[in-house]
Chain A
Amino acid sequence: MSFLAQTSSAASTSGASFPTIIYTCLVWSALLFAAVVLVMPDQTHEQRSRIKSLGISGAGAALFFAIWAVESQIADVALGTGGLPGGDLVERHLWIASFQFESTYHLDADGLSLSLVMLFGVVFFCAALAAWKNDRHVKMLAVNLLILETAAMGVVVSYDWILFLLFWTLPIAPIYLLVRAFGHGQGDRAAGRYAVGMLASGALLTLAAILITFQGGLHSLDMGAVPVTLPGKGGGVAFWLITVAALLAMAIVPLHGALLDLEEDSTGVLSAIFVAVLPSLGAFALLHVAVGFFPTAAGSYSLFFAAVAVVTVVWAGLAALRTDDLRRLIGHVGTVLMGVALLGVAGHSTIAVTGVMYLLIARGLVVSLLMLLVSAIQESTRRVRISQLGGLAWQAPYLSALWLLASLSVAGIPFLAGFTGDYLIFTGSFPAHRWATAIVLGGTLLTAGVLLWTAQRIFFGSSQDSFARVRDVGPLDLTYLGVLIAVILLVGILPGHFAGLFQNGAGYILFPGTV
């Protein structure tokens, strides 16, 4: 057991009553920094720099606790508890007792939660670093990014319905305000559409939570008591309410338009967060809530998920082929990868669901990297149309290399993050959905091909005079892009480091109560 794990499990081993508060720190540390930023002045350059530093510190604190939680749980895999809820980091305190149900302040994590905790920690930290260059609405950006991080972390470690719904709906206002403040083009419309979508998903989840609590005869809003059996059609209704809410957030075809618009009309930092984080939250809701609560129903409807995955991958892949807008292209790539994750859900096997966890990490890292690269290209060239770019490799070799690395990760090349997830999903899904797996595999390769073709169009060819003054990524850019690349390589080269964690998590989701 590592030092971190020894420290965090001191309560259980020594008999001391010191409470474990890793998940509390993980969730609330960013919000604490947001509260400090909120009261700071932002009139001068120095004051704005201080706010940016605090923003980075807040994201850094959350990343620190994320690494602590993940490493502690990895160390516990050998004990048989890593990646399963109820481990030594669990926090559970009675909150509401005088009502017809009990509600607890219950924070916990399984393998899926921990995979996303790691992803969010890295992405928000890199985004905070990337936001250093921004000098507009500095305070608003820092505060809302930290609130978003709190919400994202909170969703994946909440084991109580009220907490889950609280964190699920918390980002609505920050996202809307950020896009209104930093959006361009149709940003206002995109912000409104996405807010309505999030409100709808929140409303559906609320109704599902109420239905599960009452029809399941539960007197608790605890989400750890899974699976549930509802009488009559209640189970089916609740399952579909959660599924539709999750698919809305995952931006699966045909529900992908709002998120695509959001990504297209936002700044690079925001697009990187939106494309990496928001669909991942939807995938979490689908796996952890819909499948976790109703594994039998999820197995019965696996053909539906496979069909939606096929439609999503084919549609988004073809759209990626046609689009001339770099941001939209990355949005389509993100949608394709989410379709692959959906195929993993349809696979309904431990291998496939383990693959989904790897893929969610890889997807988040790669698409946020690509989105930040697009931002860097746009910043250097003032252009975002593929047809208006070309020959940039001569002026920006690092940029080109990073783009190629990300493209290869999307293609599932070994030793990069995307490989393990793709391999496990396709292997795990093939026995149940052969045709769907084949088509999705083809769609993934098509998307990787589109990315490489795009690289050829924007980076290679003859050097253009209009780009003679284009500069490559600077030291600051290399810092946050380097962090993303390092994690992509880490997950690609050492997938076994997380294997036990994710396998246990997948087993818990698919076979609750037996693991």
Chain B
Amino acid sequence: MPDPSGAAVFTTMLPAAMLVVAAGVVALLGWFRPGLPPSFHRWLGSIALVGAGIAALITFHALGNTGGVGLVAYAGAVIADRFDAYAVLLLCGAGLVATLTSGAAAARLGPRMPAFQALVLTATAGGVVIAAQWEMGMLVTGLGLLVISLIGMVALEKTAEPPGEAAFRALVTAGVAMALLLYGLAIIYGATGTTNLAATRGQFVHGAALEGLGLALTLVGLAFLVGAPPLHHWLLQVAAASSGAVAGAVISLAVASGGIALVRVMISGFSPGMRPWVVLAAVLGAVACLYPAIVSLAAGSVRRLIALGVCLQGGLLLTALIANGVGRDYLSAQGAVALLFALLVFVLAIQASFQAAARLDADGIGSGISDIRGLGRRSPMTAGLLCLGLVGLAGLPPFAGFLARILIAETAMAVGYSWLAAASVVASAIYVVPVLRCLAAVLVEDDDLPALVSTSPWLPGLVGAACAVFGIAAFALAGPLIFAAHGAASALR
């Protein structure tokens, strides 16, 4: 292995290093100085995340003249390119929201709050490693760091039994997914003779069954992060069992990292010209769109509705994935552009809706549809946030999710997958129906219960509302955001 250049190593590893070091500091301070207020750890984590984001922003600008090649270190195992910078910004944003809103779970986390903050940082660092990797070993390292951190975040709420069970189920699912991924990568290594994802795409033999199996296993292994079937139950379980703040943090970080991993591995590593995984992704995408949409018609609780909305979004991400310039020049990577733009607005919608769930927790309101009747009168702020979150999740106008859905369907049809485009549009339309029912329950129906005085801390609600507002603003700002996504996608090779 040639000696890595100092600048390249520094640039590629800086955000992840900052996050891991900060996580260590937060954890140690929590261990040795238990008397420190929870807000101290929160702000320390926030500073680290902002710092990592700024580092990524500088990288994004500094790489303008590299033609998308970026800086490569450790014999191509890691790379700092525009995609990496975009991904780090997105992950740090998701991590920052998770950190700032963690106060809503303070009662259930108790003295374990510093550990939670540290795990948010390590989970973000895991996602950052996945974004920067170009090699199977680094991929597994990043994925392991991410998954263990996420499971730990769920398990920390051990004052109640359901989160523990959810964490265990997530652990089992993650274990299965990791196993599938490792089998897939092993088969691909056997077939191509390299673990470097930059080299694999040139080594594939088109139509080979073994390689097809490897690609399929890898895809299914990665798709569990975005909540796509068949490994989506962990997401439903976490959404139902964890507090709103924790579920929002875990799921938004998982989806953001999952989307990034899918792009980096499947597009950058395996090329969209490989038919086996593209066809499988199309089928998975259609199932992941339609199944949660249809199941959501019978959803009896807000949390389940939100979780199914996230699964639907996972399906949409897979739909965008297959549309990444099949049969075209990679620079016209429009599917990846749509995916990256969608990923941003989806994460915002997830956070906004789970912050609403967190406010329901804090106000002592159940998450059943019958529990939220008349919420518009009883607790206008919570009701407003819930409505914004659900409408954003459903991708109704004026939220940018609406535009993201159109872009994804456009890209699917552009590469000849008209049926998949139709499935994604139909699924999105179906999901609107239960959301409308929920809105009516909140705003129209009433059960004459007295008005509530919310005891929820102000910061999580404010951050959740900011996510919702940015989800709307992203529609108007679609031009620059898509330009940024285009810059990131054009770095994929």
Interface residues of A (CB under 8 A from B): 94-101, 103, 137, 140, 162, 165-167, 169-170, 172-173, 176-177, 180-181, 191-192, 195-196, 199-200, 202-203, 206-207, 209-211, 213-214
Contacts and interface: CB of A to CB of B under 8 A. Distances in A.
A202 B475 CA distance: 18
A177 B426 contact: no
B374 to A, nearest CB: 12
A265 to B, nearest CB: 14
Contacts of B426: 203
Nearest to B440: A180
B334 A100 contact: yes
Given A170-B398, A207-B421, A210-B409, A181 B433 contact: no
A177 B403 CA distance: 23
A98 B433 contact: no
A258 to B, nearest CB: 14
Contacts of B338: 99
Contacts of A210: 406, 409-410, 413, 421
14 contacts: A96-B479, A99-B334, A99-B482, A101-B410, A169-B396, A176-B439, A180-B444, A191-B440, A192-B433, A195-B432, A195-B433, A195-B436, A206-B409, A211-B413
B422 interface: yes
B444 A177 contact: yes
Contact of A169 (B402, B409, B478, B483): B402
B41 interface: no
B486 A99 contact: yes
Given A99-B482, A180-B440, A213-B410, A169 B397 contact: yes
Interface in B385-416: 391, 396-398, 402-403, 406-407, 409-411, 413-414
Given A100-B332, A169-B402, A172-B396, A177 B443 contact: yes
B429 A200 contact: yes
A98 B410 contact: no
A167 B398 CA distance: 9
Nearest to B482: A98
Contacts of A180: 440, 444-445
A177 B390 CA distance: 14
A203 B478 CA distance: 21
Contacts of B153: none
Main secondary structure of the interface of A (DSSP, over half): helix
Contact of B413 (A137, A195, A214): A214
A169 B399 CA distance: 12
Contacts of B439: 173, 176-177
Given A103-B478, A196-B433, A214-B414, 20 more contacts: A96-B478, A97-B483, A98-B486, A99-B337, A165-B402, A169-B397, A170-B398, A173-B396, A173-B439, A176-B439, A177-B439, A177-B443, A181-B444, A191-B440, A192-B433, A199-B433, A203-B425, A210-B406, A210-B413, A214-B410
Nearest to B414: A214
A211 B445 CA distance: 40
Given A96-B478, A180-B444, A181-B444, A207 B397 contact: no
B423 to A, nearest CB: 11
A460 to B, nearest CB: 40
Nearest to A188: B440
B336 to A, nearest CB: 11
Contacts of A191: 440
A207 B412 CA distance: 11
B411 A100 contact: yes
Contacts of A209: 406
Given A177-B444, A200-B429, A210-B410, A95 B478 contact: yes
Nearest to B328: A100
B444 A173 contact: no
Contacts of B478: 95-96, 103
A166 B402 contact: yes
Contacts of B403: 162
Contacts of B479: 94-98
B2 to A, nearest CB: 36
Given A95-B478, A95-B479, A196-B433, A170 B397 contact: yes
Give 8 nearest A-B pairs by CB, closest first.
A98-B486, A98-B483, A199-B429, A180-B440, A180-B444, A181-B444, A100-B334, A170-B397
Nearest to B391: A173
Nearest to A209: B406
Contact of B397 (A166, A211, A214): A166
Interface in B422-456: 422, 425-426, 428-430, 432-433, 436, 439-440, 443-445
A444 to B, nearest CB: 36
A196 B334 CA distance: 31
A97 B483 CA distance: 8
A184 B299 CA distance: 26
B275 to A, nearest CB: 21
B282 to A, nearest CB: 16
B398 A166 contact: yes
A96 B440 CA distance: 34
Interface string B458-488: 0000000000000000010011001101100
Nearest to B487: A98
